[in-house]
Each structure stands twice: as C-alpha cells, then as structure tokens.
Chains A and B, each alone.
Chain A
Amino acid sequence: MSMFVIGYYAALIAASCIAAYFQNRQAFMLLFSLTLVSFVLGIVGGVPALQGVTIFAGILALAAGTSYAFREFLIQVSRPAIAKELRTAPLTAAFGMFVIFTYAIAGIFAPWIAPFGQSEVIASAFEPPNEDMLLGADQLGRDMFSRIVYGARNSVGLALLATILAFVIGALAGLYSAVKGGWLDQLSGRVADVIMSVPSLIFALLMLSIFGTYLWVIVVVVAIIYSPRVFRLTRAVAGNVVVMDYVEAAKLRGEGDWHLIRKEILPNSTAPLIAEFGLEFCFVFLLIAGLSFLGLGIQPPTADWGSMVRENATLISFGDITPLIPAAAIALLTVAVNFVVDWMLFRSSGLKEQ
C-alpha cells in the first residue's frame, strides 16, 4: 500500500462526504461510484490504473478550469450585449472557444512561435524529442513542433478560405432563389442536386487531377463541393423569412432584390447560418486533410496536418505516436468547433426556454 493509494481513496471519500453534507446528490453519486469503481480498478490494474484515473481527472479538471477562466476573461473584455450572451455559454463551448483562440494565435504568429522554418532540415530522420525539438523530427529531419504550428496556418487558413467561398456561393444563390423564385430557383436547385449526387471525394480527386494541384484549385473545388449544402439551408431559412410581412412591405415600397437580401432577409437568418458555418468548416477541413493524406492536397514542403499524418505513417508500426500528433490536432479543432456550434444551435433553436 503506497502513500499514493491511501491518499487517492482518502481524497475520494472525503470529497464524497463533503458532497453528501452539502446535499449535492449528483456530485455525491458521481464521486462515490468512482470510489467503488476504483476498488475494482485498483485490484485489477494496480497502482498504474489508479494513477491513470488521477491523471485523466486532473486533465479534465484543468480543461474545465481553463474554460471557466477563459469564459470569464471573454465576459470581462467584451461589450455588455455580447457579455450577456457569453454568460449563457456552457463550459464545453468555452473550451471550444479557447482551443479555437489558441489555434488562431498559433496560425497568425507562426513564424514567431515556431523555433524553425517549416521546410528547414535540422536533424536526422525520425529523431526522438530532445531539448531543441519538443516533438522530435519527421521523416526528413524537420522539426515536428514547428511544422504543427505552421500547419495551423496552412491547413486551417485554407479550410477557412474554402468555407468562406462555399458560403458566399451557396448563401448568395440560396438568398436569390428564395427572393426570386420561379425558374432561377428551379435552376439553382437542380444544379445543387447534380453536385450533391457526385461523391465528394471522387469529384475532388477528378477535378484536382484535371486542373492540377494548385492552391486556388483546391479552394474552388472544395467550395463548389460544399456550396450546395449551404444553398439548401439558406434557401430554407430565407424561404421562411421571405413570407414575412416586413419583406412584403419592403417589396411594395419598390426596394430592389439586393436591398431585400442585405437589409431584410440576411439579418434574420444569420443564426442558423453561423452554426452551419462551424459545421461546414469541420467537413471542409477534414476533406482537405483527406486530400492531403492522399497526396493531392497541399503540396510538400508546405506543412499540412493531413500530409504530415501520411508522411510519418510508417512510424506507427514502431509504436511511436508522432504521426498521431497532427491527427490529434485535427481532431481537437473539429471537436472544439463542434462544441461552439452546439451552443449556437442550442441558442438559435427554441431549446433554451427550459
């Protein structure tokens, strides 16, 4: 019986007792069932298992603490109207915002943060982490950490660009279809159907092999693949707004379509569009990562998380987790964006009434 194990159980039981004393039923049930589970776990897995639980709980607590502090920070620095909205954000959303904020900082200030250039060869291939290199070297001896930081700029920047373009195309077409109706609506609807009927990865591969793997081609192709989804959503949302009396009033005033879209319809359909933006961003990001993994996305030596997974993939058979780091970076961002989107969807739907 080590001191650790004694301390572990003592802490858990003390916490359960405090929870019970303050009548916090949920917390008590959680803590005490964890204590019971730990008995079994301690017998089966020994001290390492309990240490694992402690570390996991510590990480969770740290993340929760960071999220809480970050939310308070955002509330303090933003204007009263926004601060009021932010107060309603759950911790998961705050965590998501924190991660997005961190990635943004890493992407924007990449040249200053990264200790080496993204294509700089500074060590031998697959060198393990040391004082100079936080995460070791990749297959050509480039610093893994620097490449991850640059990757935030390249991958995320490209995905952001493609998503924005997809939104501009899809939302404009959707809004015009909703306002105009008639043949324009039919035509754009059918075009969207055609694009959606082609499997996206195959369509992207086809286009990229025809036009070559330039950055602008990737952006345009990905934007075209994802714009029909935005189109459909926008058209549905705008369709509900177009029938409102205030739009009719503006039409009868003799306002042009552009005014209708910009002043009357768009401000009343932003909430679902913003939520969709977050979701689409994840899909676009994953598609670009997938393309890069297949070698058709961002071309070497530019650092990109998708291709970094592929280039270092051989290392996984030696039990090294290096290739999983860029994959984890992708996963973390996707989860973070989804946390924020969940909160926004929750707000824009009527669910908040409870």
Chain B
Amino acid sequence: MNKPQSKSVLLEIRGLKIDGYSDETWVPIIKGVDLTLRRGEVLGLIGESGAGKSTIGAAAMGYARDGTRISEGSIEFDGMELTTATSAEKRALRGSRIAYVAQSAAASFNPAHKLIDQHTEAPLHYRIKKRMEAQEDAMELYERLRLPSPREIGFRYPHQVSGGQLQRAMTAMAMSCRPDLIIFDEPTTALDVTTQIEVLAAVRDIVDQFNTAAIYITHDLAVVAQMADAIKVLLKGEEVEHAPTEKMLDAPEEEYTKSLWAVRSFKRPQKSRPEDDSKPVISVQGVDAAYTGGAKVLDDVSFDIYPGMTVAVVGESGSGKSTAARVITGLLPPMKGEVLCRGAALPPRYQDRTREQLRQAQMIYQMADTALNPKSRISDIIGRPAQFYSGLKGPMLKQRVDELLDLIELDPANFYNRFPPELSGGQKQRIGIARALAAEPEFIICDEVTSALDQLVAEGILKLLDRLQRELGLAYMFITHDLATVRSIADEVVVMQNGRVVEQGAKEEMFTPPHHPYTDLLLSSVPEMDPNWLTTLLEERGVDNIGEAARV
C-alpha cells in the first residue's frame, strides 16, 4: 500500500463548485473542493449523506447529474480540462479511461443482456479489442476476482447470480478497458458483511494488480480504512480534513472527524432477564412459516423476549429475520407453532386480533421514507394511533402529540404541521418511533432502524431508543445485520441462518468464544478500523475462503 509519492498526477480538481437546482433557484452543493490523485493511488471520500461525495465522484468524470451544474473550478484529468471539454471528448474518456462502479449492481446491470455482453460492450465500442479477445479477457478478469466457474458465469443473466457476485462482475466490467481511474460509489453498502468482504478483496486486488487509481466513496469508516491510501472527509460540500489513512485513523485533527470516529463507542450495560417468574412479553414457539407456494422460510424458530429487554436478531439477508417479525405482527400466519403474548396465545392473523392485542406490539421500519405517509401531517401521523387506541380528542390529543414530540427530542411548535418529505432521514425515523410510542405499547419491533442512516444520526437514534426503554420499560426486538449495533444496544442475541436459529443467548456470552461457526463467520466479517484488518483476515481464511466460499 505504500506507493512512492513521486508518481505523476492523474486527476487534479481545483476549487470545484457545483450547484443543484431546487425550488427554482441554484443552490451550491459543493463549495470549493480540491483534490489531487496520482496514478495507482486510492482516495477515500467519506461523509454523511448529502455531503456531496457522489457528486464529486461524478464530477471527476466531468459529469454533472440532472439538476446539477458545475459552476466553478477546474477538473483536469491527465492534462485534459474536463469542465470545458465537449461532450464527445468526455464520452470518449468514460468507460475507456475512467470507469464507474455503482452502488447497486442489481439496478445498474441491464437485466435483458448477459453479463459478458455488457462487459464487452465498452472494449468493442472503443475498438480496443475484438469480441473473442474481449470475452477471453472478461473470463480472465472473472477468474482473478475469484468468481465461481469464470468461464461460464459471464453467459448468465444478472438475475441468475448473487448480489456479491454481481458487484464483482461490475468491478470486472469497469476494468474491461484497463482504465486509469475507477470511481467506486458505495459498492458494498447494499451487501451483507459476509459478501462485503469478497467485494472488498476483489476491489483491492484489481487496484493493486493493474496499478489503477481509484476514488472510493463510502460512509463506512472501517471499509475505507481497508481500501484507501488517503482519506478525505467531507461535510455539507466542504472538505473537513484530508490526510493519509494511518494518520487519519490515529490522530484525526478536526472535531467533526473525531466525532465520526467516536460513533462506535456507544455502549450500555447489559441487562439480564427478570429474576421473578414474570412471563415473556412475546414468546415465539416452534414457528414454521412460508410465503404462498414457496419453500419454508422459518424452520422451528423459538425465542423469548422479556419485558424491558432488547433482543437482537441477527443474520444475513434471507435468513428469516424479517419474516419472524411478520409472524409476530400477524402479517404472515405461521404454518406451525404459535406466538404468545404474556403467556396467552395471539391469534395468528392480525385481522383476528383485538385492538388491545394490536396495541401491544408496534413496529419501527427500516425505510423511514416509505414508513410515513408523505401526504399526512406529522400531527396526524403521531396523533392517529393515540386517537385510535385511547380515544383522545381535541386539546387532549394535541397535548399528547406535543408530549410525544418532546419525548423524541423534536420541537413540537416546529414540527406539528409539517409533512414527512420536509424532514431529514433521522427526523423521519424519530417520527416513526413516536408513532410506535403513541400506541403505548410494551413491545416494539425495530426492523433495521439504523441501517439507512448515517453513523452519527444512527447513534442518536440508538441513544433515544435506549432512553425510551429505560423510561417506559419497553421491550425491543432489534432486527439487524450490523453487529456493531448489536454490540451497543442488545441484551440478548439470536443468530439466524437459513430460517433456523443457530445460536441464542446473552450478549456477553455470544461475543466471547467459542462460537457457533456461523456466528464466528459473521463476527469476523465485520470490518474493523485497523487498516490491516482485511489483509490479516484474508491471510487467516485463505483467499479461497472468503465470503460465500466460507459458508458453513
């Protein structure tokens, strides 16, 4: 990773300013950013959403997205000024000399064409290679990226390969013309920890082997620590700090950077089950479930959630975490087994449950955008459950809504009459919490509540949830794939894989070896802030034993 600093400059951005069009005026989004990238160097761009990371990434290709314009500054790529280049000149660069890897490979591949046809499109278009040559080259790249059966996988359609494989295929595609610069725009954000590793390893291999320069955009510090030679921290379109990775991790200078680094420190003492023989607030007993006509998604799942405790349910996507939540809420009646609430069986279908039973269990959703009706006022969103369950009206209802808004630390006067689209992600999630609280439940299901949020905001939400638990004695079922979150908030952990519970117990026990092999895999796959973590891990597991290959 230590490259000589004397290498020639590939990309130089000076005083870049970009405006975005909103409400019929041009608002600055990037307020003067400088950036220098040498050949073979990897630069990590990091910041919260809205900090302008992706906009800068796109600008490095001389591209301004719809509704944005480059208003000032210069972008010089290998001696060529991109801000004044014609669109034909810029087009000739893209794909051949500058490549882009998008966040969601599943959405970025054209589902109607085979992978290899999409891979060879750029080399054929630029007449760099003949079709057969390009295909040979693609297979070689697939092999280097350790995709399974590299000679055949290219002839599959995007929906026939898994998400991690698709992301690697996309990285291979970006390499098809051997570009000088690749821009990675959050390539692993949508992936599970276990799949993330294989993509990270692939990206690093490629960059090392071909001496390609790269801009790596992410909001995950631990990931960027593995990838980048230098890190640039952005906040609201301005640069906060820029330093080599090691220095940045060990001795950050700015307050904001330090706060980013400190996020993962939130931890609260673990609680244990109540000593007296109080019944669990929710008890899932031997549940089997399947979606219509499908295979079993849950297989003999049992766990208990005691009052005032937080039970984290962890596992990869597809492990049945969310399905378990759907069974508890009654959206998916189980095939076998039952759900008990304080010892009494709940009717399997939510339609058959009484209002009182429905009130007991509330949900907070992952995507606050889709969880709040965009056409309802905040006062209605929060007020409706209070009105519905408690029959509050008029001034009483208004008082209750104010109370709830105070509880989630939002100013009632400011938010009472606003609509969800006017709020930020964190504020929306708080409103979602307030809606759940309005029903005065004993038990709340938190379905990946922090995974769509930036780390600082997510920490705020976790603290809020913790405070509410202490004040109101709530029980949480915390569905997540982020083990850092589990570490900070959970009392008990349930590990799920392929619809089965593989291990469960108190948190401290779960985080101390010996583990179930699957728990071990999950735990060791969580990126750490140590820049050598990935290298060490790959050495331990061996190159053929990462990601999906490491299935147990």
Contact surface of A with B, Cβ cutoff 8 Å? 87-88, 244-246, 248-255, 263-264, 267-268, 353-354
In the bound complex, CA of A264 to CA of B375 (Å): 8
Additional 5 contacts, C-beta under 8 A, given A244-B370, A248-B331, A249-B435: A252-B363, A253-B384, A267-B373, A353-B66, A353-B67
In contact, B330 and A245 (Cβ under 8 angstroms) = no
Which residues of chain A are near B362, meaning CB under 8 Å?
252
In contact, A255 and B350 (Cβ under 8 angstroms) = no
Which residues of chain A are near B353, meaning CB under 8 Å?
254
Kindly state whether residue B174 has any CB partner on chain A within 8 Å: no
| Chain B residue nearest in CB terms to A243 | B370
Smallest CB separation, A39 vs chain B (Å)? 36
Kindly state whether residue B70 has any CB partner on chain A within 8 Å: no
In contact, A252 and B365 (Cβ under 8 angstroms) = no
Smallest CB separation, A211 vs chain B (Å)? 41
Which residues of chain B are near A250, meaning CB under 8 Å?
384
In the bound complex, CA of A88 to CA of B350 (Å): 45
In contact, B371 and A249 (Cβ under 8 angstroms) = yes
Partner among A245, A251, A255, A268 whose Cβ is within 8 Å of the Cβ of B388: A255
In contact, B24 and A267 (Cβ under 8 angstroms) = no
In contact, B375 and A268 (Cβ under 8 angstroms) = yes
Kindly state whether residue B123 has any CB partner on chain A within 8 Å: no
In contact, A254 and B66 (Cβ under 8 angstroms) = no
Kindly state whether residue B318 has any CB partner on chain A within 8 Å: no
In contact, B375 and A253 (Cβ under 8 angstroms) = no
Kindly state whether residue B376 has any CB partner on chain A within 8 Å: yes
In the bound complex, CA of A254 to CA of B384 (Å): 12
24 A–B contact pairs at CB < 8 A? A244-B370, A245-B365, A245-B367, A246-B371, A246-B373, A249-B371, A251-B350, A252-B331, A252-B350, A252-B358, A252-B362, A252-B363, A253-B385, A253-B439, A254-B353, A254-B358, A254-B388, A263-B376, A264-B376, A267-B373, A267-B376, A268-B374, A353-B66, A353-B67
Smallest CB separation, B377 vs chain A (Å)? 11
In contact, A249 and B388 (Cβ under 8 angstroms) = no
Kindly state whether residue B355 has any CB partner on chain A within 8 Å: yes
Which residues of chain A are near B331, meaning CB under 8 Å?
248, 251-252
Which residues of chain B are near A268, meaning CB under 8 Å?
373-375
| Chain B residue nearest in CB terms to A251 | B350
Kindly state whether residue B282 has any CB partner on chain A within 8 Å: no
Binary interface encoding of chain B residues 385-406 relative to chain A, with 1 for a CB under 8 A from any of its CBs, else 0: 1001100000000000000000
Contact surface of B with A, Cβ cutoff 8 Å? 24, 66-67, 329-331, 350, 353, 355, 358, 362-363, 365, 367, 370-376, 380, 384-385, 388-389, 435, 439
Which residues of chain B are near A251, meaning CB under 8 Å?
331, 350
In the bound complex, CA of A238 to CA of B547 (Å): 40
Which residues of chain A are near B385, meaning CB under 8 Å?
253
Which residues of chain B are near A248, meaning CB under 8 Å?
331, 363
CB-based closest 10 A-B pairs: A267-B375, A245-B371, A246-B373, A245-B365, A254-B358, A245-B370, A244-B370, A353-B66, A254-B355, A252-B329
Smallest CB separation, B404 vs chain A (Å)? 15
Smallest CB separation, A244 vs chain B (Å)? 5
Partner among B355, B363, B374, B380 whose Cβ is within 8 Å of the Cβ of A249: B363
In the bound complex, CA of A88 to CA of B21 (Å): 14
Which residues of chain B are near A354, meaning CB under 8 Å?
66-67
Smallest CB separation, B328 vs chain A (Å)? 11
In the bound complex, CA of A88 to CA of B23 (Å): 11
Which residues of chain A are near B358, meaning CB under 8 Å?
252-254
Which residues of chain A are near B350, meaning CB under 8 Å?
251-252, 254
Which residues of chain A are near B355, meaning CB under 8 Å?
254
Which residues of chain A are near B375, meaning CB under 8 Å?
267-268
Smallest CB separation, B64 vs chain A (Å)? 12
Which residues of chain A are near B367, meaning CB under 8 Å?
245
Which residues of chain B are near A245, meaning CB under 8 Å?
365, 367, 370-371
Which residues of chain A are near B376, meaning CB under 8 Å?
263-264, 267
| Chain B residue nearest in CB terms to A247 | B373
Smallest CB separation, A270 vs chain B (Å)? 8
In contact, B388 and A252 (Cβ under 8 angstroms) = no
Smallest CB separation, B441 vs chain A (Å)? 11
In contact, B439 and A246 (Cβ under 8 angstroms) = no
A249 with B365, Cβ < 8 A, contacts A255-B388, A267-B376 known: yes
In contact, B373 and A264 (Cβ under 8 angstroms) = yes
| Chain A residue nearest in CB terms to B367 | A245
Smallest CB separation, B50 vs chain A (Å)? 18
Which residues of chain B are near A264, meaning CB under 8 Å?
373, 376
| Chain A residue nearest in CB terms to B374 | A268
Smallest CB separation, B293 vs chain A (Å)? 15
In the bound complex, CA of A255 to CA of B355 (Å): 9
In the bound complex, CA of A9 to CA of B362 (Å): 76
Which residues of chain B are near A255, meaning CB under 8 Å?
388
Smallest CB separation, A245 vs chain B (Å)? 4
Smallest CB separation, B506 vs chain A (Å)? 30
In the bound complex, CA of A244 to CA of B368 (Å): 11
In the bound complex, CA of A227 to CA of B67 (Å): 39
Which residues of chain B are near A244, meaning CB under 8 Å?
370-371
In contact, B66 and A246 (Cβ under 8 angstroms) = no
Smallest CB separation, A155 vs chain B (Å)? 35
Smallest CB separation, A149 vs chain B (Å)? 40
In the bound complex, CA of A255 to CA of B439 (Å): 13
Smallest CB separation, B436 vs chain A (Å)? 9
| Chain B residue nearest in CB terms to A265 | B373
In the bound complex, CA of A345 to CA of B251 (Å): 54
In the bound complex, CA of A354 to CA of B330 (Å): 44
In the bound complex, CA of A252 to CA of B380 (Å): 17
Smallest CB separation, A232 vs chain B (Å)? 23
In the bound complex, CA of A302 to CA of B377 (Å): 48
In the bound complex, CA of A354 to CA of B67 (Å): 6
| Chain A residue nearest in CB terms to B420 | A246
Which residues of chain A are near B24, meaning CB under 8 Å?
87-88
Which residues of chain B are near A353, meaning CB under 8 Å?
66-67
In the bound complex, CA of A226 to CA of B205 (Å): 61
Smallest CB separation, B513 vs chain A (Å)? 38
Smallest CB separation, B530 vs chain A (Å)? 37
In the bound complex, CA of A267 to CA of B260 (Å): 39
Smallest CB separation, B450 vs chain A (Å)? 16
| Chain A residue nearest in CB terms to B373 | A246
In the bound complex, CA of A61 to CA of B218 (Å): 54
In the bound complex, CA of A32 to CA of B370 (Å): 53
In the bound complex, CA of A267 to CA of B435 (Å): 19
In the bound complex, CA of A125 to CA of B358 (Å): 75
In the bound complex, CA of A264 to CA of B372 (Å): 10
| Chain A residue nearest in CB terms to B445 | A252
In the bound complex, CA of A353 to CA of B350 (Å): 41
| Chain A residue nearest in CB terms to B65 | A353
Which of A88, A249, A251 has the most C-beta atoms of chain B within 10 angstroms of its own C-beta? Answer: A249
In the bound complex, CA of A94 to CA of B387 (Å): 43
| Chain A residue nearest in CB terms to B66 | A353
Which residues of chain A are near B365, meaning CB under 8 Å?
245, 249
| Chain A residue nearest in CB terms to B369 | A245
Which residues of chain A are near B66, meaning CB under 8 Å?
353-354
Smallest CB separation, A263 vs chain B (Å)? 7
Which residues of chain A are near B329, meaning CB under 8 Å?
252
Smallest CB separation, A127 vs chain B (Å)? 54
| Chain B residue nearest in CB terms to A268 | B375
In the bound complex, CA of A254 to CA of B24 (Å): 42
In the bound complex, CA of A354 to CA of B384 (Å): 38
Smallest CB separation, A160 vs chain B (Å)? 26
Which residues of chain A are near B388, meaning CB under 8 Å?
253-255
In the bound complex, CA of A244 to CA of B376 (Å): 14
Smallest CB separation, A259 vs chain B (Å)? 9
Smallest CB separation, B262 vs chain A (Å)? 32
| Chain A residue nearest in CB terms to B354 | A254
Smallest CB separation, A71 vs chain B (Å)? 15
Smallest CB separation, A274 vs chain B (Å)? 14
